A and B are shown apart, each in its own frame.
Chain A
Amino acid sequence: QQQVKQSPQSLIVQKGGISIINCAYENTAFDYFPWYQQFPGKGPALLIAIRPDVSEKKEGRFTISFNKSAKQFSLHIMDSQPGDSATYFCAAKTGRRALTFGSGTRLQVQP
């Protein structure tokens, strides 16, 4: 039962371009939406996170856009670099419960 639906499954972007990954959810009780980044052979690591009372959060080249009415949130990577090539997971949680993760997006940034 996939409570957080993530798309696309894979993404190829040219160096300097914008990478956009989307997630949608159904549970309106979700109150925290993080994005995790995973490099091959490593565990995921927190990249950036947002709460539903904020529509956008920016940290360097990474931005989360949040649309509460549409129940969607997205990760934008500006000026994408080959070093950004990784798998990205969106996630969500409600209350004092563990995170529910999306299915992941494999991003390749071509030089």
Chain B
Amino acid sequence: NAGVTQTPKFQVLKTGQSMTLQCAQDMNHNSMYWYRQDPGMGLRLIYYSASEGTTDKGEVPNGYNVSRLNKREFSLRLESAAPSQTSVYFCASSDAVGAYNQPQHFGDGTRLSIL
């Protein structure tokens, strides 16, 4: 069972470079999410997609863009990376946004360092 797969697992970028973090789920979930995890800050929602074709901003969307390519895939793009975006990024999926007892399933994260 693959669940939620994130690529790459590690990445080092220089300030100003761009890159796309990929996420795919094989659970036929409708909703997908991108979080960033920083020490002492917990998990903060960047963007989410309630269903294929829709995306919404979360708590910290500035500097990021997302694409819900199809039901399985949800990508996160950094257009011009900044050191403040150094973080661990997690993708998650669930059957529906906010549904009781519908857990979010997380990938194992992408560790991104921006120099």
Contacts and interface: CB of A to CB of B under 8 A. Distances in A.
Nearest to A105: B42
DSSP class of A's interface residues: helix, strand, loop or mixed? loop
A104 B97 CA distance: 22
B108 A104 contact: no
B101 interface: yes
Given A98-B58, A98-B97, A101-B43, A43 B103 contact: no
Interface size class of B (residues with CB under 8 A): 20 to 34
A102 B42 contact: yes
Interface string A8-46: 010000000000000000000001101000000111111
DSSP class of B's interface residues: helix, strand, loop or mixed? loop
Contacts of B4: 43
Contact of A96 (B41, B59, B97, B108): B97
Interface residues of A, number: 27
Given A96-B97, A97-B97, A103 B90 contact: no
B40 A43 contact: no
Nearest to B56: A98
B92 interface: yes
Interface in B55-91: 58-59, 90
Interface of A: 1, 6, 9, 31-32, 34, 41-46, 49, 51, 89, 93-104
18 contacts: A31-B100, A32-B98, A32-B100, A42-B109, A43-B4, A43-B108, A43-B109, A44-B106, A45-B103, A46-B103, A49-B101, A96-B99, A98-B45, A100-B59, A101-B44, A102-B42, A104-B40, A104-B42
